[in-house]
Structure 1
Amino acid sequence: MKQMPNRRISLDLPEIIKMYEDGMSTTEIAITGNVSSRRITQILKKNNVELRPRGHWKRKYHINEDYFKCWSPNMAYILGFFLADGVVSGEGQTVSFAQKEIEILEQIRHEMESNHPIGEYKNGVHFLNINSKIIKDDLMNIHGLTPNKSKTVEFPYVPEEYMRHFVRGYFDGDGSINYEKYVVTFVGGSKLFLSELMKVLEKQQLTPSLKDRKSHYRLFISGRKSIQTFSKWIYIDKSLYLKRKFNEFNKEKLSYNELKDRAIKLTKEAVLERRRIFLHLLKVNGCVKLTSEKIGISPYTYKTWLKKDRIFEQEFNSILNSKVFHKQNERE
């Protein structure tokens, strides 16, 4: 019989013993250490650590196990936050939150009426492991969150009245704000999820753009007024939120009515997007002049693109030489 290969544990012995003595279960420690709970038990026994009776953790830790059954602003926030920074165990009954800023985990723990301990990885990231079959089942069966969800997760059903709280939670988990460049960014592995998030943002009169980075996707909102529009929406009736990100939006000195986005955004991402749109419209209408007018650029601009971007030049010339282009010109 072949032996299973030993996975390298990411915790050292003092950490394992301290976690166990602090009341964490072997399953919770195993998830943190990236090994099986059996391996943790073996390590504890080998080092003469007295083991608790099976199921003892249930008497020590409590939580509102029906928390994800009923919608509320805070539940929507925590669901969004968990979708970004949470993990559903594939083997045990544990769900885990992770975040550098311990304060938000403490608030989540309090909101869920839990006394589970908050631990810390060697890299300074804090984690909150919750051992509950009911919570795990609800996250999976009601909200569609599964183990290894990062690349496949779909946008869950969220009642419209709670949408801004859900988006704020996801933003606090997997989003960022660069005030100096007037850009809000969301990062994720699921194109399906971020595509639906785009539609949600478009309903708020925003114009987000989605970029494929091969290993992940990035969703951008850019513009001085646009990021404040986003901020005004997600922070209405806020309760749970990361203060650091909220404070970034508050660096704005002008009133909302004084703010304007640039007519044409000059970020690298925005320029690449305009080139893509230019080529797409050129294929459709077959007219360089009309295409330039539609996206608001001068002939000088697209001629500069031709000089500086070889790929753009090749695609541009390919369209010019296509039969479609010639036919459309003949009709004119």
Structure 2
Amino acid sequence: MKNLKFFVILRLMQKLSESQRVSEIEQKWQGGIEKLFYNWHWNDGFTHREIANTIDVPRPTITRWFRQLNISTQDCERPTKRRYQIRLLKILKQIQKKKIHYEKPCLANKHFFKSWGPGMAYVLGYFAADGCMYINHRGSHFIEFTSTDKELIEKVKILISSEHKIGSHKHENSNLLCSYRLQVGSKEMFNDLSELGFTPAKSKTVRLSKIPNEYFSHFVRGFFDGDGCVYFGNCYKNDRQRREFVLSTRFSSGSREFLQELWHYLKIYADIKGGSLVAKEKDDKINYDLQFSKNDSIQLFHFMYKGVTEIKFLERKYYKFQEAFKIINYAGVA
């Protein structure tokens, strides 16, 4: 019985090999029909109908030839899954091709953080105060500047030659000021900031020792414009018997180590004599203030603003110092 079945299959295969239509198919596709059908069906996931459409033969004929050639047939689901995998692979390859050959142009000076200068050091200092960097879910790299002072964001935009729009956000709480944002997509700028010590998780990891001496004052001014303030007025002394004029400056940060290092270098470069580092807790978070009194504040002003053009400082804080100096001169306080 087995010999009879084998003889029948052999005879059918012989008939197929003698068929003019089969010979034309083998000649066109340069291969034996049995091997051709097997590869299309099992390796490429073609169904009988797709094979029929490929070689322009009715589908029932293909099914009959499969039986005659003793080629096993996959379950209906398997070719479908295979075709899906093949199409998905093609799509992924196309996407990968686009990623390799297409790069969205950066609408800013992407080389800005590569070389030191007064403008670069100033923007870097401000970034240490109010900047952030992140990678989105698509793998795009961004750096971002935020402030409630639109003037400051506009100056940063000019300095980095940005063509981006400045975004704004009004808070539902009327007591909160409107905030402004400049977002720049650039992997190169992102990597340059990483080289300088910044990370997405913690912005104030920059090592101040990396900043050249001649540009340190510009960095400090940038940080001051972001997370610093100047205060002046009349306050009671500890005995509360008499009032005296007070002038103080303050740098704020969530990193104690950063402010300690800043304090160390201010003593070296700005000839600061005093100062104090104070911890403040708010909403279960601890922030730190580096504070300086009148004489050190005057010294800081000259250190930060000597020979600087208006594009590289926040005018509001600069003129607040000027107001304080007028009062000092008027009151005869030296």
Which TM-score band applies after superposition, normalised by the shorter structure? 0.5 to 0.7
Other-structure match for 2:120: 75
Other-structure match for 1:213: 280
Deviations 1:73-126 (A, max 9, x none): 010000000010000114430000001111221121111111011001223100
Deviations 1:108-150 (A, max 9, x none): 1111111011001223100000000000000002x10001215
8 Å contact 2:198–2:204 — kept in the other structure?
no
Q: 2: CA distance between counterparts of 1:217 and 1:67?
A: 30
8 Å contact 1:150–1:190 — kept in the other structure?
no
Matched position secondary structure for 2:199? coil
**Root mean square deviation of aligned Cα:** 2.4
Q: 1: CA distance between counterparts of 2:252 and 2:169?
A: 22
Other-structure match for 1:110: 158
**Aligned residue type for 1:205:** D
Other-structure match for 2:186: 132
8 Å contact 2:145–2:183 — kept in the other structure?
yes
Shift of 1:56: 9.6
Other-structure match for 2:226: 173
Give structure 2 stretches of 5+ with no counterpart: 1-97, 172-177, 234-245
Other-structure match for 1:184: 249
Q: 1: CA distance between counterparts of 2:287 and 2:182?
A: 25
8 Å contact 2:111–2:188 — kept in the other structure?
yes
Q: Which has the larger radius of gyration?
A: 2
Other-structure match for 1:85: 130
Percent of aligned pairs sharing the same letter: 34
Matched position secondary structure for 1:246? helix
Q: TM-score, normalised by structure 2?
A: 0.57
Q: Which structure has more strand as a fraction of its residues?
A: 2
**Aligned residue type for 1:63:** A
**Aligned residue type for 2:218:** H
Q: 2: CA distance between counterparts of 1:176 and 1:183?
A: 8
Matched position secondary structure for 2:317? helix
Other-structure match for 1:144: 197
8 Å contact 1:153–1:192 — kept in the other structure?
no
Other-structure match for 2:51: none
**Aligned residue type for 1:85:** D
**Aligned residue type for 1:218:** D
**Aligned residue type for 1:65:** K
8 Å contact 1:154–1:192 — kept in the other structure?
no
Matched position secondary structure for 1:182? strand
Give structure 1 stretches of 5+ with no counterpart: 1-52, 261-332
Structure 1 segments (4+ residues) deviating >6 Å: 53-57
Other-structure match for 2:303: 233
Q: 2: CA distance between counterparts of 1:157 and 1:105?
A: 25
8 Å contact 2:131–2:203 — kept in the other structure?
no
Shift of 1:226: 2.3
Shift of 1:174: 0.5
Q: 2: CA distance between counterparts of 1:140 and 1:186?
A: 23
**Aligned residue type for 2:299:** T
**Aligned residue type for 2:278:** K
